[in-house]
Amino acid sequence: MGRLENDRIAAVLDNIGDGVIATDKEGRIEYMNNTAATMTGWTAEEAVRREFSSVFSLINIKSGESLDSPLKEVMKLKAVVGLKNNSALLSRNGKAYIVSASCSPIRDKDNNFSGVVVVFRDISRIKRMEEHLIEERNNLEMTFNHSPLGMLIMDFDRVVRQVNNAFLEMLGISDNEVLGLGYGDGIRCVFSREKGCGNSSDCGLCEIRKRISAVLKTGIPSKDLVIQQTTLRGGVRKRPWYNILFMPVHHSGERSVLLVITDVTESMEREQKLIEANNFSLKMMENFPALIWKTDNNGRNVYANHNFLTFVGKTEQEVIRDGWLDCVHPADRERLEIRLEKQIDEKWMHNTELRLKHCGGDYIWLNTVIKPFYDMTGKQDGYIGMGLDINDKKNTEMELQRAKEDAEKANKAKSEFLANMSHEIRTPINGIVGMIDLTLLTLLDSEQQDNLRTAKSCANTLLKIINDILDFSKMEAGKLIIDNVNFDIRLLIEEIFKAQSTLADRKGLEFNYSFYSGIPQYLIGDPGRLQQILNNLISNAIKFTEKGEVNIVVRKELVEADKVELKFSVSDTGIGISDEEKEKLFKTFSQVDSSITRKYGGNGLGLVISRQLVEMMGGRMWIESEKGTGSTFNFTVKFRKGSAAAPGQDSEQVPARTVHKLNILLAEDDNVNKAVITRMLKERGHEVDVAATGIEAVHMHNEKGNYDLILMDIHMPQMDGLEATKIIREKEGGTRHTPVIAITAHALQGDRERFMELGMDEYIPKPVAMKELYRIIESAAFNIQPERDIKGIKIDGDGNIVPIPEPEHTGKAAATAPGLIEKIEEVASSLAASLEGRDMELAGKFAHDIKNICNESGEDELKSLAFQIELAVRRNNLKDVLYNYLTFDKEFKTLKRLYSRGKEQ
């Protein structure tokens, strides 16, 4: 072979894709082409004359272990040798190539061994593809075998070639019972049991065979088939439901079909039951004695039962077209639509009453229930409603409502009458009681004082009766309160007897009272109500008796461990009452006959109130009487046993002058009341200006502007107290607030609350009691609790009347309370800073805070000085503010020194 030919062969070898290396018979490289150089990382010049194993280094690609050179085996066997599996060429630069190689001996023309030629190629990509395919095949195999869905593969001859575990478990068979068989034979189809799958006349109708054939022919998947099959295994016939998906696949190199089978027997049976239930429900709704309808989620009708269609006089098509809301009264439709829009969850249900137009033209009241409707999947599928005819019931309710409104109008008229009567009667009584109170403050002998107290007792009794008349509505509502206080029953009877004796003497009647033995002197109950009952019965007895006697008898009926029941009897020798007339006695505003009213007077309410009071106190009242021979009224009341009361003070004691003098505006048009209230206030030590009208009160407030409190009568000429209070509140705005107390003869239930809502701060009914007047004024003006109950009074060194408080604890003792000094000092520093900045509003606030701190701890001297600062701020009197602050500061420093010494000791 010539040189030119050798060069040509070398050029060819350099351009082929396989690596080629040739060695001599000792294994040294003589030739290496370009591909071999690229893969080994050695150039031909570098590789020539080198040992083959140093250039062509092999490793196991999986383990990384070095492999022996194949040349040794070729030289030994003088035959072709390949590489072991997973052999990789390790390049000079460290890169590994998975390679396949053919190592062949070279022989000369004489057939003598002269060397080795190695031809190799990179199969890394092919190796990876093989591994990937193997992995995919394994994954598919695993998916097939472990899928929860039943799967089987049938070949072109419709023979089962592979099944998974889920399919075998579904049918309860083993793989050898189905592999190699037709589908019908494998599942034990009842039609295949004699001639085999596909051979029975019924097999031509089998939808499964049709689907398998179509997929094998076209290679197109077939959609799910839900079918019921009849199987027979071990003599047991079953009819399961299967959902089957048909997919084309290649198995063992030929087209096959994959069947994915799911047992849906349970869901199909449930669906069948639901269909049957729906059919039953539909029949039931059609025959149910109520109106039933259904809408979609948008409110459009999709169903209405026979009763609904008959009621509205429409066909089902008309109701579906127009909607059921079209039949609802327009006034009810709007609120119903709004309510339906707001439903938010499945628990929502709307129960309402509405009017539906009847086929006769009238709107009929229905009680309806509407709620969301849900399908089998739990998805909302519209609304379902049901209505029942309540027209008769609704008409009855409306008639009752009208009757109620008429009764309320009548009751309102009665209340207005009682309110007017209250004002007319209370105004003069206020003057009587007030003048008696003021006269009792003057120097009187014992007889005069006794007469005035009796007169006051009579006036109070009259006021008590008026109060009960005015609160009769409260009684009817069951809201009258019965007190439980300790009282002396003997003293009470003596006072009643003394008050009524004058009337009996005036008519020349013999008047007596008697106590049976064993009656406890002290009882717990409501002495005021008991006095009211007895006064009413005694007054009636005296009124209806022209000659003879009136007697009061108190007996002991029943005695228990801590209770006693007494029987009270009031008898007379008067006109008497027949059995027929007794029925009228306890009826509201009634007398036995009209001649009694003309002759004796009265409104017929007294006995009604008395009897109800007795029953509220747990007793009963009855009458024993004959016409012309007199009457005896009896009643019983249960009391708890009381105890001897602590010695009390004279109720008409001279009132103590307050240490907190107020500047008060009194708005009152009645001259008697004006004089009485003014004198009461001055006796307490307050300064008083008087306005006769509401207009005058507003003018004086605007001009003077420094009143600590306003007493405002409600009924005044030109402008009433409510209008005057409204103007004063608007004038003050939010900068200040002068307490306004309503003082009025209005005393009906709810009056106090009504006046408070209209801007008043408190309420005092007429006639005005001194102690109550002082308590309410000082509570409203100072925004503090009333002063502690006084033990008595004394005259100080300046001749002033001052109270002696009940002993509690002294200021110095309170001053030692932990944290008190620090609390006062913190607020006092803020007070001083606000005075330096001339911020009067802030100074008043801090003075009020100090007063509250001292009030809680009992430090009276500092509390009084703090209040004087607050009062001066209200009056905008800077001079008094500064003077009182300096006095306060001096007193507080003294208290701090005492406190420091006490700690050191």
Q: Is 295 helix (H, G, I), strand (E, B) or coil?
A: strand
**Highest-scoring range by mean pLDDT, 276-290, 613-627, 862-876:** 613-627
C-alpha torsion sign, points 69, 72, 75, 78: negative
Confidence grade of residue 280 (pLDDT, cut at 50, 70, 90):
low
Instruction: Dump pLDDT digits (tens) for 47-95.
Output: 899 999 889 989 998 888 988 889 888 888 888 888 888 899 989 988 8
Q: Could you report the per-residue pLDDT of 386-411, keeping only the tens digit for each?
A: 888 888 888 888 888 888 888 777 77
Q: What radius of gyration do the chain's Cα atoms show?
A: 58
Whether residue 602 has pLDDT greater than 60: no
Which residue, among 868, 896, 882, 897, has the nearest Cα to 832 in the 3D structure?
A: 882
pLDDT in tens, 341-371: 655 555 567 778 888 888 888 888 988 888 8
Sorted by sequence, the CB contacts under 8 Å of residue 54 that are 6+ apart come out as none
Higher pLDDT, 145 or 259: 259
Strand partners, 666: 690, 711
Residue of 496, 517, 497, 504 whose CA lies nearest to 572: 504
**Residue 301 CA: distances (Å) to CA of 292, 311, 383:** 11, 16, 9
Instruction: Tell me the two tokens of residue 265.
Output: 């027997």
**Helices 606-616 and 527-543, axial angle in degrees (round to 10):** 150
pLDDT at position 393 is 86
Burial (0-12, 13-18, 19+ Cβ within 10 Å), 118: buried
Give me the residues paired with residue 568 across strands. 554, 635
More confident residue, 655 or 768: 768
Task: Specify the 3-state DSSP secondary structure of 328.
Answer: strand
Contact 228, 239 (CB under 8 A): yes
Mean pLDDT across the stretch 574-589? 74
Do 555 and 569 meet the contact criterion of CB atoms below 8 Å apart? yes
pLDDT (average), residues 275-281: 64
Q: What is the pLDDT of residues 782-801, one digit of tens each?
A: 654 333 343 333 333 333 33
Q: What are phi and psi of 61, to 5 degrees?
A: -65, -25
**Strand 762-765 versus strand 66-67 pairing type:** unpaired
- The model's confidence at residue 745, banded by pLDDT at 50, 70 and 90, is low
Q: According to the model, what pLDDT value does residue 748 have?
A: 56
Model pLDDT, residue 796: 39
Please report, for residues 506, 552, 557, the alpha-carbon distance to residue 638 in angstroms, rounded to integers and kept in the order given: 34, 18, 9
For 168-212, give the DSSP string.
HHHHT--GGGTTTS-HHHHHTBTTSTTT-TTTSGGGGG-HHHHHH
Amino acid at 487: F
Domains of the chain by start residue, with CATH = 3-130 (3.30.450.20), 147-263 (3.30.450.20), 301-389 (3.30.450.20), 482-641 (3.30.565.10), 663-800 (3.40.50.2300), 808-904 (1.20.120.160)
Q: Which of these, 333, 334, 340, 339, lies nearest to 380 by C-alpha position? A: 340
Q: Which residue has the tokens 């009071």?
A: 613
Averaged over 869-894, what is the pLDDT? 82
Beta bridge partners of 444: none
Among 614, 615, 616, 526, smallest CA distance to 570 is for: 614
CA 482 – CA 615 distance, rounded (Å)? 11
Between residues 444 and 649, which one has the greater pLDDT? 444
Q: How deeply is 765 buried, as exposed, middle or buried, from its count of CB atoms within 10 A (0-12, 13-18, 19+)?
A: buried
d(CA 267, CA 704): 92
E strand segments, 560-629: 563-572, 621-626
Give dist(CA 783, CA 780) in Å, integer: 5
Which secondary structure element, helix H or strand E, spans residue 854, and what is its range?
helix 840-857
| Full-model pTM | 0.35
AA identity, residue 736: R
Express the helix, strand and coil content of the chain in percent, nearest 5 each.
45, 25, 30
Higher pLDDT among residues 41 and 333, named by residue: 41
Residue 600: its pLDDT value, please?
A: 44
Percent of the chain's residues with pLDDT above 70? 81
pLDDT given for residue 864 in this prediction? 77
Q: Work out the average pLDDT over 626-631.
A: 88
Residue 279, pLDDT score: 64
Q: How far apart are CA 49 and CA 24, in angstroms?
A: 9
pLDDT in the model for residue 204: 65
DSSP 378: S
Paired strand residues for 255: 250
Instruction: State residue 44's pLDDT score.
Output: 86
Q: What is the pLDDT of residue 553?
A: 95
Q: Which two tokens stand for residue 79?
A: 């035959």
pLDDT tens-digit series, residues 683-697:
888 999 999 999 999
pLDDT tens digits along 749-787 = 566 667 777 778 888 877 777 778 888 888 787 654 333
Task: Identify whether 717 is preceded by a cis peptide bond (ω within 30 of 0).
Answer: no
Q: Partners of 124 in the beta sheet?
A: none
Please tell me the predicted confidence (pLDDT) of residue 468. 60
pLDDT value, residue 567: 95
Mean pLDDT of the chain: 79
Longest dimension (CA), the chain: 183
